[in-house]
Amino acid sequence: MQNVTIRIAQTDSVLANFDENLARHCCAVEDAIKAGADAIAFPELSLTGYNVQDAAQDIAMHIEDSRLDELRRLSRKICIICGGIELSDDYGVYNSAFMFEDGRAESIHRKIYLPTYGMFEELRYFSAGQHIRAIDSKRLGRIGVAICEDFWHVSVPYLLAHQGAKLLFVLMSSPLRMSPGTGVPAIVSQWQTIAGTYAFLFSTYVACVNRTGNEDSFTYWGNSSLTGPDGRLISAAPLFREESLDVPVDFREVKRTRLHSSHFLDEDLRLFSSELERISWKNRPV
């Protein structure tokens, strides 16, 4: 596998309206199939909207729920990655990423870092994920998926990349935050810096899939993007409006980048593991 085309679906969602959001997903997927895309990725909680609050328990569904059958059917022609509220086998409620491929559905990541500061209160409504695992896609190869705040913690992309993921998706519902100054909002520049830094340090592609629209007092800014393994921006969607962004991914570029500079390959995982264990032991609660 060398070349694939990914459609980044920078979309809006209707808060707490699964049926309407599902219909929008199906239309977007059908359009991506017609365009010849190998995969389509949607933002965080794209099937439900973000600020669901107490409704999370009512909306949550198991990955095998029959209401997802249409996405399973469409996935016979394309890989679909989207965000939803997952009800686990033991009835935990998670902010999750779902993948549909070859007629099957899988929960591939549960958001680990649930922000509960400022305008955010996710930890009140969701359980935190406990695993960071790269996954295999027949159409995309080995990939890693994170959800929004997870990417503000270097451990997540670090561990995904060192499990062989050459393409990292981060599904986002990032709202504007009040900050002084004019021009590009600070949060936009911060995300651009994060994506470029991780892509360069780990010599991987990074696909940021952010939503747009307004929801209660939140305004989502979009500007979804693909960054190459050399840290350079390849393509970006506009601010504040829905957009479908078709981006080519050439995995030979990962090879070229790592042959040019082996900083990622030279990482000493044994040393990192032993030092992390020492630090954790030293800082353990008494």
Q: If you classify domain 3-282 with CATH, what class do you get?
A: alpha beta
| Helix, strand, or coil (residue 284) | coil
Task: Work out the pLDDT band at 183, boundaries 50, 70, 90.
Answer: confident
Q: DSSP label at 202? A: H
Decide: 27 and 11 in contact? Cβ < 8 Å.
no
Give me the pLDDT at residue 285, please. Answer: 77
pLDDT digits (tens, 9 = 90+) for 116-152: 999 999 999 999 999 999 999 999 999 999 999 999 9
Q: In the chain, what percentage of residues exceed pLDDT 70?
A: 98
Whether this prediction's pTM lies above 0.95 is answered by yes
182, pLDDT greater than 90: no
Average pLDDT, integer, range 172-197? 89
- Tokens standing for 152? 């503000």
**pLDDT tens digits, residue range 33-67?**
999 999 999 999 999 999 999 999 999 999 999 99
Identify the band that residue 88 occupies on the pLDDT scale cut at 50, 70 and 90: very high
Comparing 115-119, 194-198, 201-205, 280-284, the range with the smallest average pLDDT is 280-284
**pLDDT per residue over 17-29, tens digit each?**
999 999 999 999 9
141-173 as b/e: b if 16+ CB within 10 A: bbbbbbbbbbbeeeebbbbbbbeebbbbbbbbb
Task: Map out the domains of the chain as residue ranges.
Answer: 3-282
**Amino acid code (one letter) for 190:** Q
181: pLDDT confidence band, cut at 50, 70 and 90? low
Q: What's the chain's average pLDDT?
A: 96
What does the pLDDT read at residue 180? 63
